[in-house]
Structure 1
Amino acid sequence: MNHKKRIRSSLFICILLLVLIFNTYYLQQIHELASPILLLTGLILLVLILIKFISTSITAFRNRKALDRDLMLPSIIYFFTLSLVAVNPVFLNAEFFQSKVKYRGCYEGTMNTGIILFRESGKFEYRHTGFFGITSFYNGTWAQSGDTLTIDYRSEVPEFVGEKMLLTEDWFVKMAPDNPSDIDRLFFYRGFCRGAN
């Protein structure tokens, strides 16, 4: 493979990985097996870039007496990409450009995790990841009246969350649909997931 093809190949692989990482926020909104497949794709690309970086660095080292820009460029591109992934700057994820999260909740079951986000813009997001990484995503809008949060979904209502939640100091409490004064069950604790499952 000549130098120009190596440069094009390195740019293509690295840009593909960075685009995949940047769009993680949107890709996690795809139902079913898309999230685990995309995660596996990202890991494969990362390993490929690492192998290519080692390979191109060895080639550049062996030809160090006749080094030129075209021979060094693929190693530099791979190194820059690996550095970006390792440092993980906030602008590398599309979620950085979304409205700030006002309330965040997490449910950690034995084989599943649910994350709810109430954004300052009035948008609501619920991501449920189950067995084998199968994901369900629901979104809509929310409004607050005192300590009650009302959720209006764009599609069907997930039974796990419901349409009304009571906001306490430590929990989001699902309210029974027939009688809003009736507490259903505690599901989501407030804050980031703690990795308990």
Structure 2
Amino acid sequence: MQRSTKTKRSLILTTITCSVYLVLTIFYHHIDKYLSGILFWGLTALIPVTFVTMFVFEIKGIIEIIRNQKNLSFKFCLPTIVCSITILYTLFSPYRLDSEKLQSVVEFRACYGGTQNQAYILFRKDNTFELHWTGVFGYNEWRTGKWQRVGNILTLQYDGNKVEQLGEEILISGDYLNPIGKSFDKKKYPQPMFYLGYCKHEN
């Protein structure tokens, strides 16, 4: 009876830990995109905490299985099996569940790579865009909006503050996004910063 209660408690704790870890990692794109402040950092910190906890449960489970190898049952092994599947998925699975896949397909993208910060912008087929800017000291900012393209001219309509490095009107020329809007400060940014394609990580 005592062993059954202990196994049930272990299964509940293991299932909760693995479920929290999987939910956070699968939906981290949206957590990063829409949350900020203490809530964002708390959920981000919870990912390594739950991952380490899974490893602890796994090691303890293996030890218990070895100790009780003459009197094993599927129920007794189940917490360790749950941990093993989650860890194997995390470390070795080529197929990753990601909430970003719930969004519209990316039609094209552009990237900026600086020495202390970098950014990428995704233009999706449903005419939405998202720009993710990261940098030193934990700088992390998202900008979203809608885009329209006529020929080689892009027009951006931001949900909030506009990105001053891009402005609202852009000419696609020479594999670069060249801001041409009237409000764009050409003196401050004389050269185009974003190039088409994936980030090359040259800086």
Q: Kindly provide the CA deviation profile for residues 51-102 of structure 1, in whole angstroms up to 9, marking residues without a partner as x.
A: 2212211211221111112220111101111122221524x11111211101
Q: Distance in 1 between matches of 2:87 and 2:39?
A: 24
The TM-score, its normalising length taken from structure 1, stands at 0.88
1:166 and 2:171 equivalent? yes
C-alpha spacing 1:179/1:109, structure 2 compared with 1 (3 Å): closer
Q: Kindly provide the CA deviation profile for residues 94-130 of structure 1, in whole angstroms up to 9, marking residues without a partner as x.
A: 1112111011111111121111000011011011112
Which 10-residue stretch deviates more, 23-32 or 149-158? 23-32
The TM-score, its normalising length taken from structure 2, stands at 0.85
Which 10-residue stretch deviates more, 161-170 or 129-138? 161-170
Q: CA deviation at 1:161?
A: 2.6
Superposition map of 1:67-106 within 5 A: 67-86=72-91, 87=93, 89-90=95-96, 92-106=97-111
| Residue of 11, 24, 31 corresponding to 1:27 | 31
1:56 and 2:61 equivalent? yes
C-alpha spacing 1:169/1:4, structure 2 compared with 1 (3 Å): farther
Partner of 1:12: 16
CA contact 2:106–2:122 (8 Å) conserved in 1: yes
Q: CA deviation at 1:176?
A: 4.4
CA contact 2:167–2:183 (8 Å) conserved in 1: no
CA contact 2:166–2:184 (8 Å) conserved in 1: no
Q: Tell me, which stretches of 5 or more residues in structure 1 are unaligned? A: none
| Residue of 185, 190, 200 corresponding to 1:194 | 200
User: Aligned residue pairs: how many?
Assistant: 196
C-alpha spacing 1:127/1:179, structure 2 compared with 1 (3 Å): closer
1:44 and 2:45 equivalent? no
Q: Between Structure 1 and Structure 2, whose CA radius of gyration is higher? A: 2
Q: CA deviation at 1:27?
A: 1.1
Q: CA deviation at 1:174?
A: 2.5
* Counterpart code for 2:32: Q
What RMSD over aligned residues (CA atoms) do the two structures have, in Å?
A: 2.5
Q: Distance in 2 between matches of 1:63 and 1:174?
A: 68
| Residue of 144, 149, 160 corresponding to 2:154 | 149
Identical residues among aligned pairs (%): 28
C-alpha spacing 1:65/1:166, structure 2 compared with 1 (3 Å): same
Q: Distance in 2 between matches of 1:195 and 1:33?
A: 30
CA contact 1:105–1:191 (8 Å) conserved in 2: yes
Which 10-residue stretch deviates more, 153-162 or 27-36? 27-36
Q: Using CA pairs under 8 Å that are at least 6 residues apart, name the structure with larger relative contact order, 1 or 2.
A: 1
Q: CA deviation at 1:34?
A: 6.1
